[in-house]
């Protein structure tokens, strides 16, 4: 089972994403992103993480994905949103999720997501 921790940092112009992948070893990613809204950035970094797993042929394993964004987890877990800005993210998630034998999304408090948070801030600095 893979454990994935994601977080995003955003300002009014840019954003950054942080991903920690834990399996036999640990992989850390700090990604510059263009989303201007924090909720969009949180959704985008989750999708980036899932696409990364597919691209690196790691989607044959069960995934437990943690995020400190209640909004992102709720949208993806419930499979619906009234906000039209979030629909493309939900659509992409619905295409990616079946590629995994088991994909569990879990909200965690910010205090338990410090590694991904630090990487997200690094990603934001890269974008700036």
Domain limits of the chain?
2-127
Q: Are 53 and 99 in contact (CB under 8 A)?
A: no
**What is the pLDDT at residue 36?**
85
Q: Which tens digits make up the pLDDT trace of 12-42?
A: 888 999 999 999 899 999 999 999 899 999 9
pLDDT band at 71 (very low <50, low <70, confident <90, very high): very high
How far apart are alpha carbons 93 and 44 in whole angstroms?
Answer: 10
Class level of CATH domain 2-127: alpha beta
**What is the pLDDT at residue 128?**
55
| 90: pLDDT strictly greater than 70 | yes
Contacts of residues 26-31 at CB distance under 8 Å and 24 or more positions apart, as own/partner, are: 28/115, 28/119, 29/119, 30/119, 30/120, 30/122, 30/123, 30/126, 31/123, 31/126
Mean pLDDT throughout 66-91? 96
Q: If residue 96 lies in a helix (H) or strand (E), which one and from where to where? A: helix 87-96
Q: Which residue has the higher pLDDT, 11 or 76?
A: 76
**What is the pLDDT at residue 94?**
97
- The closest alpha carbon to 28, from 120, 90, 97, belongs to 120
């Amino acid at each position: 089972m893979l454990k994935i921790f994601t977080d995003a940092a955003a300002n009014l112009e840019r954003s950054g994403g942080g991903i920690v992948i834990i399996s036999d070893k640990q992989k850390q990613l700090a990604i510059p992103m263009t989303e201007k809204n924090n909720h969009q950035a949180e959704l985008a970094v989750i999708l980036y993480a899932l696409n990364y797993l597919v691209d690196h042929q790691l989607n044959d394993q069960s995934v437990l994905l943690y995020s400190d964004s209640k909004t992102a987890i709720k949208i993806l877990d419930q499979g619906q949103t009234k906000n039209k800005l979030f629909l493309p993210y939900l659509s992409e998630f619905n295409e990616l999720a079946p590629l995994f034998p088991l994909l569990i999304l879990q909200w965690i408090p910010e205090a338990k997501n410090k590694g991904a948070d630090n990487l997200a801030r690094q990603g934001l600095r890269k974008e700036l």
